[in-house]
Copies of this chain bind each other. A is one copy, B any other.
Amino acid sequence: MKEETDILYYMGNQNENQLNEIFHALADPTRREIIHMMAQKERTVSELAEPFDMSLAAISKHIKVLERANLVKRNITGRTHICSINAESLSRASEWLRFYEKFWSNRFDILESELLKAKNREH
């Protein structure tokens, strides 16, 4: 039986796969910079490519990785593709992290209160 605290159970497997892709997408500094650019406003592919010393094809691939992770959505109008952040995926990763941050710090709170109780019993 899984415990209530088992985030893996709570989240299910599809979500697990999505986390793989989200974190993998975020692990590349070029892709994070792309997200940074999109955070301010939507951008076309060539706008996103401009600051990088890298082929358009390479950026195209990076965007695809972000898309696969659902971090970016693309709006095709004519020949230009306009990319924007999908914050839902950002928050999925964010939630995962906050869960463990909190879990771990709770552990210390509990530890601390146990120590306190023990200390009180000494007297």
Contact = CB atoms under 8 A, between A and B. Distances in A.
A39 B103 contact: yes
A68 interface: no
Contacts of A28: 20
B35 A100 contact: yes
A20 B24 contact: no
Contacts of A104: 39, 85, 87, 90
A31 to B, nearest CB: 10
A98 interface: yes
Interface in A17-31: 19-21, 23-24, 26-29
> Chain A interface: which size bin?
35 or more
Contact of A94 (B8, B16, B101): B101
A27 B32 contact: no
B90 A101 contact: yes
A94 B26 CA distance: 12
A93 interface: yes
Interface of A: 5-8, 16, 19-21, 23-24, 26-29, 32-33, 35-36, 39-41, 85, 87, 90-91, 93-94, 96-98, 100-101, 103-105, 107
